[in-house]
Structure 1
Amino acid sequence: MTALFGLDLKDKPILIVGGGSVASRRVRRFVAEGARVTVVAPHISDDIERHAGHGDIVVHRRGVAPQDLDGAWFVLAATDDPVLNDAVAQWAHERQIWCIDASDASKGTARQAAMSKHGDLGVGVISLGAPDPGRIRAVRDAVAAHLDGGEVDLRRRRPGSGRVILVGSGPGDPGLITVRGRQALSEADVVVTDRLGTAELLVTVPYDVDVVNVGKSPDRHPVPQREINSLLVGRALEGKTVVRLKGGDPYLFGRGGEEVHACIKAGVDVEVVPGITSAFAVPARAGIPVTQRGVSTSVLVTTGHAGADPASIAAMAAGATVVILMGVTALPGIVDAAIAGGCDPETPVAIVENGTTVHERVTHGVMADIVRRADETDVKPPAIIVVGQVSQPGLLASAVAATPEL
């Protein structure tokens, strides 16, 4: 009879006998779990050598002896000699130490599950009969894809301490949220969301999840930040898992730091799930690399709310890429200040509206005429403004033509 258990390997002494490919894979797994790993083998792989060089593990380059198991909490017998692996498994059995026999799982006292992690859940798959690693990995991957796709309700069933998870939803395309972000939505009892770029993501949320919209719309002012902070903390103190779903990345002009501070101050557990920021993703999707060898080697990100601050003007004048978020209304003032501050009026500018969505539209111009062009095309928020030589139309195509052997 085989049972599946979870073992806490952190800071536990683990012995791995063998230095080949099987041992290398398991070393990575044990190191990732925070175990104290010792490898005993006459010869070791390059991968194990690198781990040893980084100080992740201890290596003894020699044959194994029974006394090497003394003090170990867990043993992996992974040499290319089945007889030796069986002997190591027997030594472990005599010492009442859990052991995986890589040659024949039936001769060990443990089997390692093919495992995937999903937030604070772990899913493991093992063979109950003859070992079949390829099969259990295939099953694990299929289950993991189902969970990570938001297809399973992962909300806690037992009452417990509440928590807040700040999730960056990405630049607009729902496919650009991170895997952990989708997992967090599946765990949510409450979702506190901005208006921008989150509607499609909320389609998969169960109907009985409380969705609170605190964003700004044309006929509604945004909820003050202090009230949002109070809402997050209050619902978490009720024992709820609260997901704060924010456009882009929570820490890039998203006031994520203020919300995290409020949670910490109230003693609420808080996790931050970074998002793909629109500052880089929107230009990239529109064919604009914010840095390009031989064109621009630095990039500055700013907000239109700050106007034409000295750092932005200096960056534009120096030929760096400047990405402006929330800058449509402030664009005329930014242009005037930039030109007055020494920026070349012929500097290319691109404005990308509704980036990464089906409504994406790009308006090109130069510093001297971009305000007029924006008026003619009736540019509206949300939009990303990219200033610099990287904004030239067809830049990548021209670069390929100029350097055919990249």
Structure 2
Amino acid sequence: MVGPQHASADQPSTVPVELPVRGMPVTVVGSGGRAMTATGTLVAAGAVVTVVSPDPAPYLSDLADRGLITVHRRELTTADVDSAALLFAHTGDADLDASIAADAHRRGVFCVLDRAPRPTPAARRVGRVTLVGGGPGDPGLLTVAGRDAIANADVVVTDRLAPVSVLGHLAPHAVVVDAAKIPGGRRMEQSEINAHLISHALAGRTVVRLKGGDGFVFGRGGEELDECVKAGITVDVIPGVSSAIAAPASAGIPVTHRGLTQGFTVVSGHVPPDHPDSAVNYAALARTNTTIVLMMAVANLDAIARALVDGGMSATTPAAVIADGSLASQREVRGTLGTISEAARRAAIGPPATTVIGAVAGFIPGRAASQRTAELNIR
């Protein structure tokens, strides 16, 4: 919300506007929940976003690592202001935000302030927690029930792969807690996430735990459900579209296809096959003759591919890796079980990514039908 700086006490001090930001250089100053939601919204709208913060939140650092934004880990400079067509002052310090806005005004740069009211302690009975599966990333794939839950939230505890861009619109007054887990980097431990959910609910607030994909598919939703119930908190569960099937679908790959496969198996590849924590029987998996969908497996893809070949799967089995499935930044590479790890490395594919192994990874819409027709004509 942006609007006039002068208004009488009985008049609204802001007016809603829509800003065309595609391709526009926009700077966000800050690292808290408001900075996160503003950044997510701007990225989704196609802005060229730079975040300035001495200590950027894990969510913001992850966007920078994926090449979706630029982050400067320092204080704001006049050069940052001058290079921006639009500035968002979301530091969480009202006086500092006002000072940034005043300086931007003097330099002819429009600045959007964080005018959301601060939450007050709830004076009512125990609140509730809703576990919302946010889908694979595209905000349009968030369910209607999920959108409704977010709109009614006092607090949103969000993962890095959740559709954060919807929060500024659906929950402009909610407290946003960054519960990101960055592979090999900064992370909020599960015990701390549980504590946030429970403490806010016990304070009488309506809490949404927003996750990417479906919270019960490698999302630790069951653990959070269990902890909240043990604390005496009512929990609602809203399933989400899992990236295990949505990412392949976004690349035109069906995880099942008549004549090619009759099933699929979803496996976490966050540890290699020879790791003590690996509970997957890759030799058995290699013989299932179903599609294999690997989540969180980019770093261990070479080792997993070798284990599957050692288990009897042909190295020429089609394979594909889809990064940022369903997002504008989506990329995919295709190859075979024997080549896909190197192909992903050469393409600089990083997490989040979904790997598909099996005949369906070689499926190309339109071509399969013509091939089948040709085979029938030959016979």
Structure 2 SS opposite 1:226: helix
- Cα distance, 1:158 vs structure 2: 8.3
In structure 2, relative to structure 1, the CA distance for the partners of 1:300 and 1:264 (3 Å cut) is: same
Contact in 2 for aligned 1:319/1:389 (Cα 8 Å): no
Which residue number corresponds to residue 33 of structure 2? none
Which residue number corresponds to residue 222 of structure 1? 187
Separation in structure 2 between the aligned mates of residue 220 and residue 367 of structure 1, nearest angstrom:
29
Contact in 2 for aligned 1:169/1:276 (Cα 8 Å): yes
1:400 to 358, 369, 373: 369
Number of corresponding residues = 247
- Cα distance, 1:398 vs structure 2: 2.9
Q: For residues 353-400 of structure 1, what are the alpha-carbon distances to aligned partners after superposition, in whole Å with 9 as ceiling and x for unaligned?
A: 100010111100101111211121111111000000000051x32332
Q: For residues 38-61 of structure 1, what are the alpha-carbon distances to aligned partners after superposition, in whole Å with 9 as ceiling and x for unaligned?
A: xxxxxxxxxxxxxxxxxxxxxxxx
2:201 to 213, 228, 236: 236
Q: For residues 314-364 of structure 1, what are the alpha-carbon distances to aligned partners after superposition, in whole Å with 9 as ceiling and x for unaligned?
A: 233332100001100010110111111111000110000100010111100
Which residue number corresponds to residue 267 of structure 2? 302
Q: Which runs of 5+ in 1 are unaligned?
A: 1-156
Which residue number corresponds to residue 264 of structure 1? 229
Separation in structure 2 between the aligned mates of residue 221 and residue 239 of structure 1, nearest angstrom:
30
1:330 to 285, 300, 304: 300
2:249 to 284, 287, 290: 284
Separation in structure 1 between the aligned mates of residue 222 and residue 325 of structure 2, nearest angstrom:
25
Separation in structure 1 between the aligned mates of residue 369 and residue 184 of structure 2, nearest angstrom:
47
Separation in structure 1 between the aligned mates of residue 257 and residue 280 of structure 2, nearest angstrom:
24
Structure 2 SS opposite 1:211: strand
Separation in structure 2 between the aligned mates of residue 242 and residue 381 of structure 1, nearest angstrom:
28
Structure 2 SS opposite 1:384: strand
1:316 to 275, 286, 292: 286
Q: Is it true that 1:181 corresponds to 2:146 in the alignment?
A: yes
For residue 273 of structure 1, what is the amino acid of its counterpart? I
Q: 5 Å matches for 1:2-401?
A: 159-217=124-182, 221-308=186-273, 310-394=280-364, 396-401=365-370
Separation in structure 2 between the aligned mates of residue 290 and residue 347 of structure 1, nearest angstrom:
14
For residue 401 of structure 1, what is the amino acid of its counterpart? S
Q: Percent identical across equivalent pairs?
A: 43
> Which structure ranks higher in relative contact order (CA pairs < 8 Å, sequence separation ≥ 6)?
2
Q: What's the C-alpha RMSD, in Å, of the aligned pairs?
A: 1.9
In structure 2, relative to structure 1, the CA distance for the partners of 1:184 and 1:237 (3 Å cut) is: same
Give the TM-score taking structure 2 as reference length: 0.62
Contact in 2 for aligned 1:215/1:223 (Cα 8 Å): yes
Structure 2 SS opposite 1:305: coil
For residue 352 of structure 1, what is the amino acid of its counterpart? I
In structure 2, relative to structure 1, the CA distance for the partners of 1:158 and 1:175 (3 Å cut) is: farther
Contact in 2 for aligned 1:315/1:321 (Cα 8 Å): no
For residue 280 of structure 1, what is the amino acid of its counterpart? I
For residue 400 of structure 1, what is the amino acid of its counterpart? A
For residue 323 of structure 1, what is the amino acid of its counterpart? V
In structure 2, relative to structure 1, the CA distance for the partners of 1:160 and 1:310 (3 Å cut) is: closer
Structure 2 SS opposite 1:230: helix
Structure 2 SS opposite 1:290: coil
Structure 2 SS opposite 1:379: coil
Separation in structure 1 between the aligned mates of residue 204 and residue 238 of structure 2, nearest angstrom:
20
- Cα distance, 1:218 vs structure 2: 7.5
Structure 2 SS opposite 1:330: helix
In structure 2, relative to structure 1, the CA distance for the partners of 1:388 and 1:381 (3 Å cut) is: same
In structure 2, relative to structure 1, the CA distance for the partners of 1:284 and 1:167 (3 Å cut) is: same
- Cα distance, 1:277 vs structure 2: 0.2
Separation in structure 2 between the aligned mates of residue 263 and residue 161 of structure 1, nearest angstrom:
12
For residue 348 of structure 1, what is the amino acid of its counterpart? P
For residue 354 of structure 2, what is the amino acid of its counterpart? I
Q: Which runs of 5+ in 2 are unaligned?
A: 1-121, 274-278, 374-379
Structure 1 SS opposite 2:366: helix
